[in-house]
């Protein structure tokens, strides 16, 4: 089957994105309003967000999505998700690569993310990209009171920019 194509997320993707969101994050799914608000900050010269979807060319189905926030040289992986049937085939890696490309375009020196302490699969993915654990946020995920592991990536080639 042809590989999914990555492109900008638009409002007309939200129905499919929300279906995936509820399936993949049953305890703390983002609401439609949260996605609308995020997309409102994803266009124009003052944009602080980039959201992408992975679309299957054969039927137009959205099988993954991801979002990055950026401000003051600091990036934040806000969300990343792949449909269960599409996991383990490298799509999560492609989405993360795309977010990091946007982080570079935003001139981020560092990219942070929060991940549930029990989500070892996602943590392994981030580690492969060079993210390192830097601390915890206690009770970050509600309901459930699950801690977040905070991970940080220093974006290559920008870490000494102030000195040079």
Paired tokens of 63: 């099988």
Query: Per-residue string for binding with ligand COA, 96-135, x by CB under 6 A?
Result: -------------------x---x-xx-xx----------
Q: Is 78 in the site for ligand COA (CB under 6 A)?
A: no
Cβ–Cβ under 8 Å, residues 110 and 154? yes
Task: Output the smallest distance, CB 80 to ligand COA, in A.
Answer: 5
52, 70, 81, 149: which one contacts ligand COA (CB under 6 A)? 81
Q: Is 16 in the site for ligand COA (CB under 6 A)?
A: no
62, 63, 68, 82: which one contacts ligand COA (CB under 6 A)? 82
Q: Is 80 in the site for ligand COA (CB under 6 A)?
A: yes
**Taking the C-alpha atoms of 8, 115, 112 and 15 in order, what is their torsion angle to the nearest 10 degrees?**
20
Q: Which residue from 105, 78, 80 is spatially nearest to 92, judged by alpha carbons?
A: 80
How far apart, in whole angstroms, are the C-alpha atoms of residue 37 and residue 148? 23
């Amino acid at each position: 089957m042809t590989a999914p194509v990555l492109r900008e997320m638009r409002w007309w993707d939200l129905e499919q994105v929300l279906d995936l969101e509820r399936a993949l994050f049953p305890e703390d799914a983002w609401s439609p309003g949260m996605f609308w608000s995020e997309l409102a900050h994803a266009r124009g010269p003052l944009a602080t967000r980039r959201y992408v979807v992975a679309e299957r060319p054969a039927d137009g189905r959205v099988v993954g999505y991801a979002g990055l926030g950026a401000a003051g040289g600091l990036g934040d992986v806000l969300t990343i998700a792949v449909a269960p049937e599409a996991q383990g085939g490298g799509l999560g890696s492609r989405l993360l690569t795309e977010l990091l490309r946007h982080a570079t375009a935003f001139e981020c020196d560092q990219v942070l993310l929060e991940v549930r302490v029990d989500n070892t699969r996602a943590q392994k993915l981030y580690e492969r990209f060079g993210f390192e654990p830097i601390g915890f946020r206690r009770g970050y995920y509600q309901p459930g009171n699950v801690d977040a592991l905070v991970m940080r990536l220093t974006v290559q080639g920008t870490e000494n920019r102030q000195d040079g």
